[in-house]
Structure formats: C-alpha cells, structure tokens
Amino acid sequence: MDPTIVDLVAKIMTILLPFVSKGTEEFALKVGDAAYEKAKTILEILKQKWTKDKEATESLIHFEEKPGRYQIVVEDILQEKLAKDHDLAEQIARLLREMGPILEITQQMEEGKDVIGLRAREMRSGRIKVTQDIAKAERVTGAKLDLLG
C-alpha cells in the first residue's frame, strides 16, 4: 500500500473517529467551528462519493452508529478507495491541510515550578488548548509562542 494513502487514511480517521464518537456539539466545542465544519464536510464527501457502493455506504452508516466496531472496516475501504480515486484523495488532503494541527495539552500536578504547557517558535495555523490544573504553582505559562499566524 502507498505510504501516502496510509498516512492520509490515518489523518482522516483521527478527525472522523472523535467526530462520530462525541456527537457534533461536543466535537465542535472541543475543536472549534472551523474544524467541525471540515470534519462534517469530509464525512459528507465520503457519503456522496460512495453512494453507488453498497458495502462502503453501509459501513459508513455503521461507523457513525458504532465507531469502535467499524473503524477498521472504514479504514480498509478508505485505503482501497483513495488508492483508486486520486481526485478524492487530493480533495480530502486539501481539507485536512486547511484544518491545520489541533493540539490539546493537559497538565495535572500537585506542585509545579517553571511549568510551560507549550513552547513553540512558530505556529502558522491550527488550534491549541492548554489546560493546567496545578494545586501549588510558581511561574506557570500556558503557551509561549514566538510567532503566531
């Protein structure tokens, strides 16, 4: 299997699995409206492209109902379909690039000194959420970025 397709399928599932598992409202709250819309669009594109394939369509429906059980099946179908349909692969890859990275950092500790949730030189796109739960803390920074955007 083409490593580019394998990577693309992994990225698609990283977005779709929480989208169908958490429910749309919770997913939107967690990742933001833009990422929610992209995930929704990806799922709609797959449904539309697969309408003539009964197995793929039914697997996608089952995946929405029971994501854990049908994840492997949908991954397998995605690999097969994207390897054959380069336009679909590029369309979804473009949507994923537009989403940018989503980082969620959680730090929980009793005591912390000089704690930084995220230190990065540059972030051009994406979303960061830093949650810090520190009972006793000195010099705590959620995120430190030299360049944003």
The residues, ordered by sequence, that sit 6+ positions from 61 with a Cβ below 8 Å of its Cβ are none
Q: What are the boundaries of each domain within the chain?
A: 3-99, 102-148
How far apart are the C-alpha atoms of 95 and 74, rounded to whole Å? 19
pTM of the model: 0.68
How far apart are the C-alpha atoms of 18 and 27, rounded to whole Å? 7
- Listed as ranges, residues in the chain with pLDDT below 50 are none
Please list the residues that pair with 103 across neighbouring strands: 128
Please list the residues that pair with 116 across neighbouring strands: 141
